[in-house]
A and B are shown apart, each in its own frame.
Chain A
Amino acid sequence: MNEKVAKLYGERLNRYMTALDCGKPDKVPVSFGIGDWIVKHTDNNFQEIFYDWEKSIKAVDDILPDFDVDVFGGGPTLWWPPMWDAMGSKLYKFPGMGLDENSTFQFVEEEYMKAEDYDAFIANPTEWIATTYLPRISTEFENPSSLRGISALIRSSVAFSEYNNYMGASWGKWTVEHGVVGQFTGMTKAPFDTLGDALRSMKGILLDLRRRPEKVAAACEVIVPHNINYALSGAGADTRFPCFAPLHRGSYPFLNPYQWENYYWPSLKAVIEGLWAKGKRTYFYAEGDWTPYLEKIAELPDKSIVFDIDLTDAKKAKEILGGRFCLIGGMPTTLLTYGTPEQVKEQVKRSIDELAGDGGFILGAGGVVMGDAKKENIMAMLEAAREYGSY
């Protein structure tokens, strides 16, 4: 890292760390990633960006010199689809594989775990996942002890580790060449979402809350230690950066208040507190609207989360969580798609005026920024962040 880059890296890191601890840095930190929106600015279609990691990395390499963000959210793909394809996974459709080659990936929701699987899952979740769930969701792994099954597992694991190594090296390069500071290390979920997303499905778990609520509670409880360990092991030994927690069914209006307080919140709170006890902060990625639950969220230990404002009432979030937890957000994702650079700049100014206050605020997009976001709007947001962001 040359001196100039080292200085830049130090400034950005300091801004991020100060804001996470609710302090006031020299400037409002700005956080953004290279999402699907980059694809149309390359010579590639979605399938190429998803499947050819060199093309995906190049898309990032090309834009990074002009991408002045303090906190970098990463490249255009979450993972390399071949690791799923090797298993014949039924969970996802990818561009060019079950979907148009210019469409982003999608999740295929089914009741992959049946209601009658609860007892076996609760007794030993790891064993159940390995011996019942994986064969059920993977056409190549239907028979785990067959040569075909073992070979699929090996190929998938190799794909996973190859991709991780490649990404690790790319992040290293981006850091050294451009002073990039990553947004998080490690990942976790709310136990209710672990159970609801890819196991019982949305409809399944909502019906379970009426038909077998005690099973839902017991299953969430056994997931807690797994979700703590998963976050810590995925992050290596790092506790400086928060771990990413994409949250789903806790958003309003999926659950009624009784269900939220008794079935969603206790196990999520246990994961967050368990991580915080190890010094690891949670990136509370509150997709959707969480306004009705802000008071409950405020019960968490000070600074144990950074709260991502998507459709949550930003002023209320500031009022209830501000000062004790860092907030991130201020840019509605639809504005990046349908707005003009002028509107985006006005929004940045307004958000900084309303939310930046005494610190503990990071400017970022609320929710997922998708393929139709306009590059000129994103660049206008980054520019305006610097224009209006000095404390």
Chain B
Amino acid sequence: MLTDTLAKAILDLEEEQVIVLVKERLAKGDSPLDIVESLQKGMSEVGKLFETGEFFLSELVMCGEIMKDAMDVLEPHLIDSHSGNKGNIVVGTVKGDIHDLGKNIVVMLLKGAGYNVIDLGVDVPIEKFVEAAKESKAPLVGMSVLLTGCQEAMKQTIDAIRAEGLNTKVIIGGNYIDELVREYVGADYFANNASDGLKVAKQIFS
């Protein structure tokens, strides 16, 4: 049971109340980081309910929207402060595919769980993935794909990452992703939903 009223407002998807509470706590002089922590606590509960099948994508999308609005309020106060960072993860939708819903949900949940997510966006060229993985030394790279026709691009991207000798794990996610696809493209993990992806991240960063 959540005792934090802000976290509970997130869990109840009460968008107006969340903004009111964030503003109240800022006015009271609470540290912006503590407020972010409350938001994350609420979001992590939302993630759990999604995992157990009590919440659906409609709740996740709503939660994402509330978080975005709350972060818009908090952002100016967060400059210079450093949040508790569990590590870097590079995420993007592979070349040729412009679908971003699944990727955005994963990014939101990863950020909520305290990771520093480097979101490369959609239709990401192979070199951009390699460059970002190299620069950030991220232990995990996540690739999203909806169109099976773009799965080949995933294989090429993974090949390129391996060819650079980068010691990063790769997780692939999307609707038509399964063990067969994972093996073909040479990824380390696959996930069909955001919560499975989160579990893999937890495992790698533990």
Contacts and interface: CB of A to CB of B under 8 A. Distances in A.
Contacts of A288: 175
B176 interface: yes
Contacts of B81: none
Contacts of B149: 36, 103-104, 370-372
Given A209-B58, A254-B58, A256-B55, A106 B98 contact: yes
A108 B55 CA distance: 27
A99 B123 CA distance: 10
A209 B55 CA distance: 14
A174 B62 CA distance: 49
Interface string B171-190: 00001101011001000000
Contacts of A256: 55-56, 58-59
B61 A333 contact: no
Contacts of B15: 210
A370 B147 contact: yes
B65 interface: yes
Contacts of A103: 96, 149-150
Contact of A367 (B13, B57, B98, B176): B176
Contact of B181 (A99, A334, A373): A334
B151 A337 contact: yes
A166 interface: no
Contacts of A253: 53, 56-57, 193
B152 interface: yes
Contacts of B53: 253
B180 A338 contact: yes
A371 B148 CA distance: 8
A206 B180 contact: no
A52 to B, nearest CB: 20
A386 B67 CA distance: 55
A12 interface: no
Contact of A259 (B58, B148, B175): B58
B62 A207 contact: yes
Contact of A100 (B57, B96, B178): B96
A382 interface: no
Contact of A334 (B57, B62, B98, B180): B180
A287 to B, nearest CB: 9
B200 to A, nearest CB: 19
B20 interface: no
Q: Which residue of B59, B97, B176, B184 has the most chain A CB atoms within 10 A of its CB atom?
A: B176
Interface residues of B, number: 28
Interface in A181-238: 202-203, 206-207, 209-210
Given A36-B149, A104-B149, A207 B176 contact: no
Contact of A104 (B58, B59, B147, B181): B147
A255 interface: yes
Contacts of B56: 252-256, 259
B203 to A, nearest CB: 23
Contacts of B57: 206, 253-255
Interface string B130-157: 0000000000000000011111100000
A366 B13 CA distance: 35
A372 B145 CA distance: 14
Nearest to A107: B98
A346 to B, nearest CB: 14
A280 interface: no
Nearest to B53: A253
A337 B184 CA distance: 10
A338 B181 contact: yes
Contacts of B62: 206-207, 210
A334 B176 contact: yes
Given A253-B57, A367-B176, A372 B101 contact: no
Q: Which residue of A333, A334, A339 has the most chain B CB atoms within 10 A of its CB atom?
A: A334
A107 to B, nearest CB: 9
Nearest to B100: A109
Interface in B19-58: 53, 55-58
B151 A372 contact: yes
A255 B148 contact: no
A318 interface: no
B61 A339 contact: no
Interface in A94-108: 99-100, 103-104, 106, 108
A200 to B, nearest CB: 12
Contacts of B181: 334, 338
Given A210-B15, A333-B176, 17 more contacts: A36-B149, A103-B150, A108-B98, A203-B65, A203-B101, A206-B62, A207-B65, A210-B13, A253-B53, A254-B56, A254-B58, A255-B58, A256-B59, A259-B56, A335-B180, A337-B148, A372-B149
24 contacts: A93-B98, A99-B96, A103-B96, A103-B150, A104-B147, A106-B98, A108-B98, A202-B61, A206-B57, A206-B61, A207-B62, A253-B56, A255-B58, A256-B55, A256-B58, A333-B176, A334-B148, A334-B176, A338-B181, A338-B184, A370-B147, A371-B149, A372-B151, A372-B152
Listed from nearest, the 6 A-B pairs whose CB atoms lie closest are A371-B149, A370-B149, A256-B56, A338-B180, A206-B58, A370-B148
